[in-house]
Amino acid sequence: TIASTLGNEGIGFIIVNNTVTKAYTVVEGVEPNDRSFLDPHKLSSLIDEEGEIARHFDPFEKRDSQIKMLERIVEAFNGDEIAVIEAGTGVGKSMAYLIPAIHWSVKNKEKVVISTNTINLQEQLIKKDIPFLQKALGIDFKAVLIKGRSNYICLRKLYSAKEDLENDLFNESEQNWLEAVQKSVTTLKEGSKDEVAGIMPLEAWDKIASETDTCLKTKCTYHSRCFFFKARKEVQQANLLIVNHHLLCSDLAIKGEIGDSSNSYGLLPPYQKIIIDEAHNLEHVAVNYFGYSVSPFSFRQRLSRLYHLKGSSEKGILGFLKREINGWKGKGDNEIIDAIDEILTDKVIPDIMRLNHLVDSFFQLMLSFALDQMDGNLENKLRVTPDSISSSIRDKIEKESQALIQGTQNIYGRIKELLEKLHKIPLRIKEKNIGMIKNLEAYHSRLLSALTSLDIFVHFKEEDSVYWIEVKKRDHTPWLRLNVSPLNVSEFLNDFLFTSHESVILTSATLTTDGSFNFLKQELGLNLTAQERITEALLPSPFDYMEQMSICIPTDLPSPQDKNFTKSVNEFLVEIIEITEGKTFILFTSYGMLNQAYDHLDGHFSHRITLLKQGSMDRHTLIDRFKNGNHTVLLGTDSFWEGVDVPGKSLSCVILVKLPFKVPTEPITQGKVEKLEREGKNPFYDYSLPLSVIKFRQGFGRLIRTAEDEGVVICLDKRIMTKSYGKMFINAL
**pLDDT for res 652:** 96
pLDDT at 260 over 80: no
- Answer whether the bond into residue 59 is a cis peptide, omega within 30°: yes
3-class SS at 109? coil
Residues 6+ apart with CB under 8 A from 217: 223
Average pLDDT over residues 349-357: 96
Rounded-to-integer distance, Cα 63 and Cα 27, Å: 41
pLDDT band at 60 (very low <50, low <70, confident <90, very high): confident
**pLDDT for res 515:** 92
pLDDT band at 553 (very low <50, low <70, confident <90, very high): very high
Q: Alpha helices of 160-310 — where are they, by DSSP H?
A: 161-166, 175-184, 227-236, 245-258, 282-289, 296-306
**pLDDT for res 10:** 62
Sheet containing 380-384: which strands, arranged edge to edge?
A: 292-294, 477-486, 465-474, 380-384
Mean pLDDT of the chain: 91
Rounded-to-integer distance, Cα 555 and Cα 189, Å: 56
Rounded-to-integer distance, Cα 241 and Cα 277, Å: 13
pLDDT at 229 over 60: yes
Residue with the larger pLDDT of the pair 537 and 256:
537
pLDDT tens digits along 237-247: 999 999 999 99
- The one-character DSSP state at 542 is S
pLDDT tens digits along 630-660: 899 999 999 999 989 999 999 999 999 999 9
Q: Using alpha carbons only, what angle is made at residue 455 by residues 449 and 460, rounded to the nearest 5 degrees?
A: 130
Residues 6+ apart with CB under 8 A from 525: 489, 490, 491, 492, 493, 494, 498
553: left (phi over 0), alpha (psi -120 to 50) or beta: beta
634: left (phi over 0), alpha (psi -120 to 50) or beta: beta
Rounded-to-integer distance, Cα 299 and Cα 318, Å: 17
**pLDDT for res 485:** 96
Torsion angles phi and psi, residue 484, rounded to 5? -130, 120
Residue with the larger pLDDT of the pair 339 and 331:
339
Helices 349-373 and 391-422, axial angle in degrees (round to 10)? 150
Q: Which of 5-9, 319-323, 515-519, 657-661 has the lowest mean pLDDT?
A: 5-9
3-class SS at 202? helix
Distance linking the first and last C-alpha atoms of the chain = 52
Task: Write down how long the chain is.
Answer: 733
Whole-number percent of the chain with pLDDT over 70: 94
**pLDDT for res 199:** 79
pLDDT band at 667 (very low <50, low <70, confident <90, very high): very high
pLDDT band at 221 (very low <50, low <70, confident <90, very high): very high
User: pTM, whole model, 2 decimals?
Assistant: 0.90
The string of DSSP codes covering 346-377 is IIIHHHHHHHHHHHHHHHHHHHHHHHHHTTT-
**pLDDT for res 166:** 55
3-class SS at 61? coil
Q: Long-range contact list for 141-144, CB < 8 A, 24+ apart?
A: 141/102, 141/105, 141/106, 141/239, 141/240, 142/234, 142/237, 142/238, 142/239, 142/240, 143/238, 143/239, 143/240, 143/241, 143/242, 144/231, 144/234, 144/235, 144/238, 144/240, 144/241, 144/242
**pLDDT for res 163:** 65
Residues 6+ apart with CB under 8 A from 267: 146, 247, 250, 251, 254
Rounded-to-integer distance, Cα 680 and Cα 271, Å: 39
**pLDDT for res 7:** 61
pLDDT tens digits along 150-204: 999 999 998 887 666 555 666 666 777 888 888 899 999 999 998 887 778 777 7
Bridge pairing between strands 308-310 and 240-244 = unpaired
Whole-number percent of the chain with pLDDT over 90: 74
Rounded-to-integer distance, Cα 416 and Cα 348, Å: 10
**pLDDT for res 167:** 58
Rounded-to-integer distance, Cα 187 and Cα 347, Å: 46
Torsion angles phi and psi, residue 654, rounded to 5? -115, 130
